[in-house]
Chains A and B, each alone.
Chain A
């Protein structure tokens, strides 16, 4: 809210300058967002919190300054306004009818004659400073009084009101209203309307209608000051797509007890400036008075919650300055909440008021005391942290990318993507179903040639009944697995085995229980014959896919065809993590090594070869290493030669050559069983 300092000074006298007033308001909870101009032409731009409608006026902010600044004094105008124009009286009349519960009070002035003139310079200037346009004296004064007191006013051309009557009611379906901004609205039954005898003439608390607005030709006028239910105003203005100074205030609360004072202030200024006579009618219908809210405040509790010493007396003074009624009893204050503070409903709210005015700078700084629960990271979250470290150790750079994105060729199951109902833009309409698209984006952003990336983040997939949100790990590598360097001939290149090796490394977190299986249905995003399903839980659970990118996709999105990726669901992967480490005794006896090479049909999977060796050798087998694979010249079509080195070691005794050879022969025999022929 932009507030001219000169206007604020009409209500409070203080030795503070503009900046100091702004700082004080900031510390009272009304943040100074901007300060323009100097001295008396200064304008404060103050951010008023969503629950503090009472701060949306010069009068309201003056009250805060008076509470917090010991050097501040109220002006006569402040006293008059806070006394609600002591002798203000009004009558009732059949000119106004309230037919809805969402209007708790409706008051108005009726002028049988109107002085048409422009505003004086000072008024025009203050409105301009507040960011409003000067229109005519009457309209300007309705706006000005709202700035002063926070109570929205509206000026009607009485002769345009059918029957010269006001009816506050809900709209009837089919009714229409063209508002001041020239837009015609179709009304619904839950829209609260100001109507004349026939039709809606204004959206209550939001905006007037174009047909009945005060204009140059207005001869008789009606000035409205009312109180409307805040959520009803909010609903109407949202649905009509309007946002006005009036609706802004009604939504955040307006003091129902200030309704008449605003009309008196209008009449006073109008008469002072134009010499116009007093209004012919002053009408006030007040069907629903606000309930008095009384709160029991325990000063000891206030001290406890603030963690600072504020005396009972200081609390009393603060509350009284803010307009609360206080009856101090021995250890409890009976606090009556003023009508302009509907946000205060609990003891804690009152406690906040005390601390706010007393000053947050007095709060001491203490670290938490008392029972300390166990701190740390536990469960799956902790294992995922370890998985991140494994990725880093494997040489992958971490990326973190957006959740909302456009459709992408690398999406997981496009039919099950989740749509955002009100997207930021069409390019951000989906929740990511896979991290691979953003890894591809990141790869391209970084040159697309030599990148080693991983991301761990949530992905979203439409399930049968619910949307699944799950943490996923994705990897994308291409080109050099190590930066080129002049002192080495070449860098290792990313390939299928690179990514598989990383997943195997990750498998150590689940007790090496990772298997790779031919997918039943190939994942179309991967090269059809260079992909594998990642399985855990002894091959029972599918967790993701590893492989080479589909070459057509690669070309389409601009990545090298030698791009390798992996994608897996971490929640499933870590469902039964084997984190238990059991110590194996280390043998001090020397190991012996035996190499074997044999020809075997290519359709016999290596995993079968290795498990055959392991079973035949038993526990003395320390390592198995496939060190050469050869096919081509000298090897029959459909076969390849595998060269494998094995290391045996016994605990507590040495191997003799004869024993080692015997074991090797046993292994060779077992391999022959599955179709291998020694070379």
Chain B
């Protein structure tokens, strides 16, 4: 009997010693199966149960199980230790140079004028304006007559125009949308557009023959200059930050009365300097009447500004010509 118990102790000691000397998890797996596997030396002892005296069987079985439990505990501890060691080696071997360049995503980039347009759209759609488009090659009437330009007026000198025929011209202002809208829509209305305009001007850093404009207008009961100023303030805040201030000064455009030129100023961008953004005003009563809108009941405002001016101011783009040259080194800085 005592011999049997001694055998258990000896195998256990052998097992523990063997486990302690295993240097890898693979060796440990072998040791495990050697002692605890189906034919393992420790688990094999149970098969000898039949050869043992009936009276001693319970204590023998208990001793085997206890020894097994101790070996298993040791195995688990040893495995945890070895696994940690092996992982450490593996991780060291798998070290990469994280300073090497990342792989560029394959999605395309939007043009800076598109990004600016998206931002403009967000503001006006949020204020209940509908986005619309009208032709770039426009009839004289929509560009001038419908906008209350008297025939042969000096105001037209300020808008040197490209003509394709006597009647067709490249629109000089996106305000040309107004006539199209008024022909089909009665107030209350809020519309805006972003599009391309053309002037036959000398090209330099701040002037181009082709540029983009945002033009918005609304007609409703009780619309006043205060609503115009508030809207422009909201717009300017969205583009240039919350501390923006808006200044109006009188200006003349045939399609508004009163007409204003508006400038903005922010501490961060312009150091308190006033920077002119565009023209605005209350829609001229002649225009409203032309489309049968009752000017006693309704009034409206309109404003327009150059889209390029926004990134020029916000990002310090110093030359208008960059915008339509499509140099990706320029464009990729924004998107």
Contact = CB atoms under 8 A, between A and B. Distances in A.
Interface of A: 26-29, 31, 49-52, 231, 234-235, 251-252, 304-308, 346-349, 351-352, 355-356, 360-361, 363-378, 381, 388, 391-404, 418-424, 428, 431, 438, 441-442, 445-446, 451-454, 458, 460, 467, 469, 481-483, 485-488
A366 to B, nearest CB: 4
B110 A368 contact: no
A244 to B, nearest CB: 14
A305 B107 CA distance: 49
A307 B162 contact: no
Contact of A306 (B129, B226, B252): B226
Nearest to A428: B209
Contacts of B106: 395, 481-482
A423 B200 CA distance: 8
17 contacts: A29-B252, A51-B155, A306-B226, A351-B258, A364-B226, A365-B230, A366-B230, A373-B130, A373-B188, A376-B131, A395-B106, A400-B324, A403-B136, A422-B200, A469-B135, A485-B103, A486-B100
Nearest to A353: B258
Contacts of B168: 467
Contact of B164 (A347, A421, A442): A421
A367 to B, nearest CB: 5
Given A363-B248, A395-B108, A446-B327, A370 B220 contact: yes
Contact of B258 (A348, A441, A460, A487): A348
Interface in B281-335: 282, 284-286, 299, 323-329, 331-332
B250 interface: yes
B91 to A, nearest CB: 19
Nearest to B115: A398
Most chain B beta-carbon contacts within 10 A, residue among A370, A418, A442, A482:
A370
Nearest to B105: A395
A352 B190 contact: no
Nearest to B188: A371
Given A373-B128, A481-B106, A367 B227 contact: yes
A368 B225 contact: no
B231 interface: yes
A368 B218 contact: yes
A364 B227 CA distance: 8
Given A404-B198, A421-B165, A397 B109 contact: yes
B326 A446 contact: yes
B32 interface: no
B26 to A, nearest CB: 31
A327 B116 CA distance: 51
B204 to A, nearest CB: 13
B225 A307 contact: yes
Contact of B109 (A392, A403, A483): A392
B152 A401 contact: no
A352 B258 contact: yes
Classify chain B's interface size. 35 or more
B128 A445 contact: no
Interface in B196-245: 196, 198, 200, 203, 209-210, 218, 220-227, 229-231, 233-234
Contacts of B174: none
B108 to A, nearest CB: 4
Interface stretch (B16-24, B47-55, B59-67, B118-126): B118-126
A422 B196 contact: no
Given A360-B260, A419-B164, A445-B327, A398 B110 contact: yes
Given A368-B223, A376-B125, A49 B252 contact: yes
B154 A365 contact: no
Interface string B82-116: 00000000000000000011011011111101100
A403 B198 contact: yes
A662 to B, nearest CB: 42
Interface centre among B107, B132, B233, B323, by most A CB within 10 Å? B107
A368 B285 contact: no
A50 B254 CA distance: 10
Scoring B101, B114, B284 by chain A CB atoms within 10 A of each residue's CB, the highest score goes to: B114
Contacts of A252: 154
B217 to A, nearest CB: 11
Contact of B130 (A349, A376, A453, A487): A376
A437 to B, nearest CB: 12
A422 B163 contact: yes
Contact of B170 (A364, A388, A420, A482): A420
A481 to B, nearest CB: 7
A370 B326 contact: no
B137 A431 contact: yes
Nearest 5 pairs between A and B by C-beta? Answer: A307-B226, A29-B250, A307-B224, A352-B258, A49-B252
Contact of B221 (A307, A370, A376): A370
B246 A365 contact: yes
B326 A454 contact: no
Query: Which of B170, B250, B259 has the most CB atoms of chain A within a 10 A radius of its CB?
Result: B250
Given A365-B226, A374-B130, A458-B136, A349 B210 contact: no
Contacts of A460: 137
A29 B251 contact: yes
Contact of A360 (B135, B224, B248): B248
Contact of A304 (B124, B224, B246): B224
Contacts of B331: 397, 399
A251 B196 contact: no
Given A398-B108, A399-B326, A363 B229 contact: yes
B56 interface: no
A483 B210 CA distance: 33
Nearest to B259: A352
Query: Which of A234, A375, A376, A485 has the most chain B CB atoms closer than 10 A to its own CB?
Result: A375
Given A368-B190, A373-B130, A391-B108, A403 B154 contact: no
B153 interface: yes
A348 B164 contact: no
B189 interface: yes
B137 A368 contact: no
A254 to B, nearest CB: 13
Nearest to A235: B152
Contacts of B259: 352
A375 B135 contact: no
A31 B131 contact: no
A404 B234 contact: no
Tell which of A305, A372, A374, A419 has the most Cβ of chain B within 10 Å. A305
Given A377-B131, A398-B110, A482-B106, A421 B163 contact: yes
Nearest to A486: B100
Given A348-B284, A445-B327, A469-B137, A305 B225 contact: yes
Residue in A231, A373, A442 whose Cβ sees the most chain B Cβ within 10 Å = A373
Among B108, B162, B170, B248: residue with most chain A CB under 10 A: B108
Interface in B142-164: 151-155, 157-158, 162-164
Given A26-B249, A50-B158, A368-B190, A483 B130 contact: no
Contacts of B326: 399-401, 438, 441-442, 445-446, 453
A50 B121 contact: no
Contact of B220 (A349, A352, A371): A371
B218 A50 contact: no
Contacts of B248: 360-361, 363
A418 B136 CA distance: 13
B162 A404 contact: yes
B107 A392 contact: yes
Nearest to B258: A352
A486 B133 CA distance: 46
A215 to B, nearest CB: 32
Nearest to A360: B248
Contacts of A349: 257
In this complex, the member of A365, A421, A431 whose beta carbon has the largest number of chain B beta carbons within 10 angstroms is A365
A452 B109 CA distance: 10
Contact of A418 (B121, B135, B164): B164
B57 interface: no
